[in-house]
Amino acid sequence: MNQEIISILEDIGLSEKEVAVYLALLQLGEETASRISEIAKLNRITTYTLLKSLQEKGFCSVFEKNKVQYFKPLKPEHIMGLLEEKKDKIKTIVPLLKQKEKTVSEKPEVMLFEGKKGILSALNIIINDSKKNKEVLGYGNFTIADRLIEYESIYWRKTRIINKIKMKAVINTKKGTEVHKEIKDYGKFTQIKELKELEKTTSYSLISKNYVGIIAGEGELHGVLIKDKAIVEKEKFIFDLLWRQAKK
């Protein structure tokens, strides 16, 4: 759970050390930089710099008491308001950005991604692309799919289910998939079939309405995200063949 909290706070714009300081500040309520540095296990100067950064980002405030500076954390329930404010600001400039966007005919796109941030970006593109047709398809080696969970976090799976997006997957073994059933409605929106021959593959593919994500499993997870109608149709054709061959 702590790793989940850290991962999401990093995703919304905090650095690893800023997360440590913010969580320490939450534990203390309001405190001096010195005391916060002890809990966060960072030196005082670094902690003070991070607190100033958190203040600029809206995650804490500062006040003076007996000529000593104290820092107070943003309450967790107010984080959504902070994000909504940023979202509203972005909305105001989208029309201006669209004016500057070069108008070109629709053409294939290929994006390379690697590391945690890259994986999360690719997964978010796929889930957002699936909100209309309510379906994501997947096939490949479960070892890679299982490693994906470390990157995607419980957030991605819950987001899929909240948006009622069904997942159909063909993997080489269903052993180990039971752990996800603890998520409410997981079974209702998830179908998994087994095809042992897929254990020979070293990749895992995700298919949404307009995108195909192919994740390679050697070393750190990495891969490509392709937006191309012909490739999407071809991958769906392959998935249908595998789905018919696979066992429940």
Residue 49 has pLDDT above 90, yes or no: yes
Which residues lie across from 68 on neighbouring strands?
65
For 119-144, the pLDDT digits (tens) are 788 888 999 999 989 999 999 888 77
Per the domain annotation, does 143 fall within a domain?
yes
Residue 48 is predicted with a pLDDT of: 93
Residue 5 is predicted with a pLDDT of: 83
73 & 113 share domain: no
68 & 115 share domain: no
Task: Among 31-40, 78-87, 173-182, name the most confident range.
Answer: 31-40
Residue 39 is predicted with a pLDDT of: 94
Residue 8 has pLDDT above 80, yes or no: yes
CATH number at residue 43: 1.10.10.10
CA atoms within 13 A on the CB side of 235: 26
Domain count, the chain: 2
Per the domain annotation, does 93 fall within a domain?
no
pTM across the whole model: 0.60
Per the domain annotation, does 87 fall within a domain?
no
Per the domain annotation, does 237 fall within a domain?
yes
pLDDT averaged over every residue in the chain: 85
Range of the domain at 36: 2-77
Per the domain annotation, does 20 fall within a domain?
yes
143 & 214 share domain: yes
| Angle formed by the axes of helices 2-11 and 142-162, nearest 10° | 70
CATH number at residue 141: 3.30.870.10
Per the domain annotation, does 204 fall within a domain?
yes
Per the domain annotation, does 54 fall within a domain?
yes
Judge residue 165's burial from the number of C-beta atoms within 10 Å of its C-beta, 0-12 exposed, 13-18 middle, 19 or more buried: buried
For 77-117, the pLDDT digits (tens) are 888 888 888 888 888 888 887 777 665 556 788 999 887 77
Per the domain annotation, does 61 fall within a domain?
yes
